[in-house]
Homo-oligomer: A and B are copies of this chain.
Amino acid sequence: MLTIGQLADYARVTIKAVRHYHLRGLLPEPDRDSSGYRRYTAEHAVKIVKIRTLAQAGVPLARVKDLLDADPDTLAAAITEIDHDIEERIAQLRRTRDQLAQLRGGDRLFVSPEVADHLDELRELGVSERQLHLERDGWILMQTASPEDASLWIAEKRELMTDPEFRALYLDHDAAYDWSPDDPRLPALADRTRNWFARSPGRSETGPVHNPAIARLAAQSQPGASSPAWDRLARLMTDRS
């Protein structure tokens, strides 16, 4: 006959857990000795090892209770199912490990692989961290609003980036962020930008949502995402177009 502590040690379970199983009706209360201590038999030990095994497998105690006095076929079926469940949890943990590795890496975790590649290209081009941040956040918002459109837009944007003139314009806009709003280079930049859009084939017919500048607009809905120079640039471009 075992005390609760001996039983708990045998099954490698805490005393508290044993009492919890009594409370949940998984384990019948054993007889008490003259001093009121619970006295367990080997039957209890067997049952509690069963309970522990199922509970460790993540089976809710309510289900463990049913399983304990189910017929062997039902139990076997349940075990098969639980086994599959564990396999799946292992696979999930592996996926989590991969994501954890990406968390070290940078932004790939937060955006689609295409956008992540795009951001990498921008970084190589020498785009400022501020601008990268703006781009990333813009794509996040777009992906959230419309994942299908976002995947079209990113393909278009990346194709655009193969044009050296567009790349130059992009870098100039990036640099212009810090300029004074009175900077004489701003009107010229606005002109070059408008000219490029006018020359670029098919830009206008795809509708306003297909304009890659919407990335910047979306990002600008965040606080601190614009500057006096950019505001001036926006006015220069809309006024004369």
Contact = CB atoms under 8 A, between A and B. Distances in A.
Contacts of A86: 93, 96-97, 100
Contact of A144 (B7, B140, B221, B222): B7
A169 interface: no
A92 B12 CA distance: 14
A57 B104 contact: no
A49 B99 CA distance: 10
Contacts of A82: 100
Nearest to A137: B42
Given A6-B144, A90-B94, A41 B110 contact: no
A46 interface: yes
Nearest to A92: B56
B89 A104 contact: no
Contact of A104 (B1, B56, B79, B140): B79
Contact of A53 (B96, B222, B223): B96
Contacts of A179: none
Interface string A74-90: 01100100110011011
A54 B102 CA distance: 12
Contacts of A144: 2, 6-7, 9-10, 45
Contacts of A221: 1, 41
Given A82-B100, A93-B89, A100-B83, A42 B109 contact: no
Interface in A105-120: 109-110
Interface in A9-44: 9-10, 41-43
Given A1-B221, A41-B222, A45-B144, A83 B97 contact: yes
Interface of A: 1-2, 6-7, 9-10, 41-43, 45-46, 49-50, 53-54, 56-57, 75-76, 79, 82-83, 86-87, 89-90, 92-94, 96-97, 99-101, 103-104, 109-110, 136-138, 140-141, 143-145, 219, 221-223
16 contacts: A1-B141, A2-B141, A2-B144, A6-B144, A9-B144, A41-B137, A41-B223, A42-B138, A53-B103, A53-B109, A54-B103, A75-B103, A79-B103, A82-B100, A83-B97, A86-B96
